[in-house]
Chain A
């Protein structure tokens, strides 16, 4: 376990020493502040728009950060050959995968903390209301969502040769699930066989990432989700993440590495 944490901490260190990480923060903050500056009237609706915009930016930025960093980890280790001195130590390849993924996930969590603190500050100062638990649930579930996405990205980075095609495929899949995943069963009903069964099968196999998108909770100040439901969703995400990482390990375990 120490090995996994050591790898994770080096991964995080790299992420925050690379400057491109900050660009998204600054960009999101700038857009939000500009939107805020453009709104002169202090009515409810405008705060709601502001929240909606800001949350959308957070979702996009966090997704971009998670996918691009996770997809890059192992290919970069191989390209830069840092994987060789690493694997020459008494580490298993499973530990490398676990450490890299954990590092990306913790870094994504850190990014979410910054994003949400910013959101709370901007919105709270306008509404003078601080529904912190709503923010907490939204952020937590988003973090769980990112865990699944990161595991998918790590798996993809081992299966697909080119990191860029991996990232592209992943964006399409994740956004596809977010937009369509919940409706696939209804779509299936309208189709003839065998299409119907195929769509149903897909519906039951895919990780339902759209469940983790509870932005409305913050935007419309809805009442909190039951904590048991949050726990169940977290467990669901962890199961999927572990499955993807297990598949990644299977693919990586005996792979010959070209020096």
Chain B
């Protein structure tokens, strides 16, 4: 379990990092927190020719909260964001989701942008990004483009990132005080990736509205549009009934039927926690 040989670069700026990515597209890989990439290298599942370590780039750890919401640079660690949100800032969904990610040692290193870039279907943050309509800034030597989270996630470990692109920032819109949020998941042990999980929001003020994004059950974060409509119109039992029509992943020890059933449990519990009708 030693990585295949690779070259290593530690640029000091985002521009230098992106230039390295562009020099030979496909040959380089960004190293952020390393919590996912290092095991992949050691298993030789990833064999990049060049590792671009972004841990020393200037202003990478920017964490800015303003009228536009919450903007995070590529070196904001899970733990940084958790500390920020735990103090009642940031976003209540992120505050609920971050403690479910791994263990504190991993959260100290792992980055929010790295988690989005990895696009593990069982990860919490991609689902949160979809639930909150987060936007990502992707930079390459060709320039910068902005993309919505819904369009960014394409499949298992598949995103809209081009070979010469990296995530320069992610922006979560400001929290609407009329909405309540929670994140629930099922895992065998604390800190494990979810077997099934749900990022859920509900607004009871005015016309009821809901946001439900499942993770761990499909190839990418799965917006449960039918369940959202049923929840606001008829309550959580009706929302759970809509799950029967979904095509869910099986795999490992957990067949799709199991994931469907526990997703229903999570939906019922989330609805109760958010004050949505039963």
A binds B: no
Seen from chain B, the residues whose Cβ lies within 8 Å of a Cβ on chain A are none
